[in-house]
Chain A
Amino acid sequence: MEDKEITQEIISVSSAPHIRGEDSTQRIMFSVVIALIPALLGSVYFFGTRALWLTFLAVITAVATEWVIQKLRKVEVTVSDGSAIVTGILLAFNLPGGVPWWLPVIGSFFAIAIGKQAFGGLGFNPMNPALLGRAFLLASWPVHMTTGWTAPLYGTKSGISTVTEATPLAALKDAIKYLNVEDKAQQSAETIAAIKGSYGNLLWGKVGGCIGETSVIFILIGALYLLYKGYINYRIPLSYIGTVALFTWIFGGVEGYFSGDPVFHVLAGGLILGAFFMATDMVTSPSSIKGQWVFGIGCGVITVIIRLVGGYPEGVSYSILLMNLTTPLLDRYLKHKPFGS
C-alpha cells in the first residue's frame, strides 16, 4: 500500500473544478486594448499623429508608474496584465487634441498612482482610474482641458454647418442659452435647426472633441468585438444610452417636452465611448445583474442633468465616476434571488 501512495509533490489534490476556462485578467485587458485600436486609428485619422503621440505618452506613463509603485510597495509587478495600458489609452482618449504633452503624463500618473495603486491595485480601485485622472486634470488645468479643442483635419469643430468654433454639445448648449438673447437669437435658432444635419459628421467622427471619443463608428467596431467576446455585456451600455436618449428627447428641446433631439445627444460628446468602454469597466461597475441596469440608468440620468442643467456641456465622465461610488452598494443590496425562489 505504501509504495502506491503518491507523494504530494508529484500530484496535486486541489479541489474541483480541475479544469478552468481560458479567460484570464490578461486576456481580457489585451482584448480591450485591441478593441480600442479602431478608435485610436480613427483619432489619428481625424486629429493627426498628435493623437497618437498623446496616447503613447499616456500609456508609457501609466505602465511606468504602475511598475515603479509596485516595486516600491514590494508587491508583485503586474504590468503584464495590460490594465495599465487600458487606463493610459482611455485617459488619452478623454483629452482634447490641443493639450500640452505633459498633461497626459501627469494625468496617467495620477490615474495609476492615486486612482489605482493607492487603493491596492487592480480590483480594489473604487473608481475608474482613467476618469479620475481626467477629473483631476479638469480641476487643475481647466483652461487646457476646456479650450484645447482642435478641429478635425477634415471638418469643423462642431460638425454643425452654422457653427465652427465649439464642440457639438457646447454649440447646442450655447444655442439654447442664447435663444432669447436679442442679437444671438437668430443664429441660435439656426444652429438648433441645423443639428440634424450633423448626424453624419458625428457618426463618422468629423467633429471636435476628446481625441478618442468622436468617432462613433470606430468605437462601435471595438465595442462589438468585446460584446462578441463576452468581456462586456449589453446591459450597462443599453440602459445608459437608452436613458440618455429618452430623457434628452423629453427634456432636451426648446419647444416643450418631447422636442429634444435624442439622436444628437447619443452621438455627440463622449457617450458612446463612455457607455461601452468606461461605464463597463468591470472593477468599478456592479456584478449584480439588476445592479447593472440601475448603474446604467443612473449614469444616464446624471449625464442628462449635467448636459441640460449643469454648467458643463458634457457629463459622461462625472456621471460614471459618481455611479462608480454606488457599485458596492448596488452589489450588496440588489441581491440575486436563487433559482426557484
Chain B
Amino acid sequence: MSATTSATGVGAVDHYEVRKERLNTIIRYTLLITMGLIMLYPLFWLIGASFKSNAEIFTEVGFWPSRLDFTPYIKGWKTSTEYTFTRYFFNSFLIVIPRIIVTVISCVLVAYAFARFDFWGKKILFSIMVATMMLPQIVLRIPQYIMFQHFDMLDSYTPLILPSAFATDTFFVFMLVQFLRGIPRDMEEAAQMDGCNSLQMLWYIIVPLLKPAIISVIVFQFIWTMNDFIGPLIYLSSVDKYPVSLALKISIGATEEVEWGSVIAISVLALLPSVAVFFAAQKHFVDGVASTGLKG
C-alpha cells in the first residue's frame, strides 16, 4: 500500500523505502508459504502414498511415489465387500443431501423467528438454545439411540437426518441469527409496505439476503456429515447402507493383510467431494458478501 504512494515521490529516500517494503513483502510471503506447506504436508503425503505399494509406504521417507500406479485406486474402489465404493458414495449422498435440505429449512425458520419476532420467553429460549451448543454431542447419543430404537428407526438413515429437521444444529441457528441481526430492517419495512406477509418476506427478502450465510451452512453441514463416523456407526448395521466414512473403516479391517495403498487412495477420493463443495461455494461467499454491502 504505502509502497505505491511513496514510489510516486522523488529522491533516494523513496527508493530505500520501496526496497524496504519489497523486502518486507518477500519475508512475509516466504514465512506464510512455508507455514502453509508444513500444514499441507500430510495431505501431500497422503496423495503421494496413494500410488505406493505397502513396502514403499513403510520404507520411503519422501512423499514422491516411484511410479504413477493407479491400481490401488481400482482395487480400493472395488473393495473386499460385495459392494463397490459407487454404492457407498451414493449412500453418503443419500444422507448428506436430505440432511442439508432439512437443516437449511429448519435453521432459517428458527433464526428468522429469533431475529425478527418478539414472542413470550424469547430471551430464555434463545439462551437455552445457545447453552445446548456447549453440550457435547456424545452426551446425547445414548438417549437418542434409545429413542430411535423405540421409534423402530434403527438401521435406516432417518436417525441421521431427522434431528436436523428440528434445527438441532444450534451452531447454524446461532450463526444465521447473528447474520440477520446485522442486516438493517429497512428493506423488510419496505417489503411490508409493499404488502409482504411474514412468509413472503422470508422467501423474497430474507433468504436472498441470507444467501452467503446459507451457503456457509450448506458447506459446513456437507463436510461434517460427509466426515461423520460415529453417527452411521451407531445407527447403521447393514453393510449395504454404509456411507463412505464407515466403508473406509471396514476396508481396513475386512482382510487379513491391509492394502494401505488402496485405503489411502480411497481416503483421497473421499476427500474430493468436500474439497469440491468448498471451492464451488468459495465464489459465492465472496459474491454474497459483496452484494449485501449496502450503499449509504
A and B, one complex?
no
